[in-house]
Structure 1
Amino acid sequence: MRAPTVLAEDALTALLLPFWQLVIGGAVLVVVIVSALRLAQRGPSRMTTALLVTAGAIVGLAVIGVLFSG
């Protein structure tokens, strides 16, 4: 006799996975925005510009990854 397969757990996990990706992505986005605002308030400098460009690249890559993952 074969063991019965449980499909409900797989379906529930499949439904929740995109939700958690959005939650994590949203949290990362909030942290990046808050840190960018704090850096911008300190005044212009090379380090601030470099960090903002890096943060923008990270956010852009994350958005592309989410868009093309599904």
Structure 2
Amino acid sequence: MTNEILKSEITCPNCGHRKIESMPTDACVYYYECEYCKQLLKPKQGDCCVFCSYGTVKCPPVQLGNSCC
């Protein structure tokens, strides 16, 4: 049994817009477009995905102590 959290609130660093999104368990999300300002978010250096960079919760693989993708 796993205890991954599968939802994370992404905050756009450009405009501050926040949205709760579902995270896939079998893929990384490298690009995310802010629905408010249309800024294309990419992971920060050293992070594997946008959830690890801009979310309130890290992606499921990282939560379990694995590398993402």
TM-score, normalised with respect to structure 1: 0.27
TM-score, normalised with respect to structure 2: 0.27
Higher helix share: 1
- Larger RCO: Structure 1 or Structure 2 (Cα < 8 Å, ≥ 6 residues apart)? 2
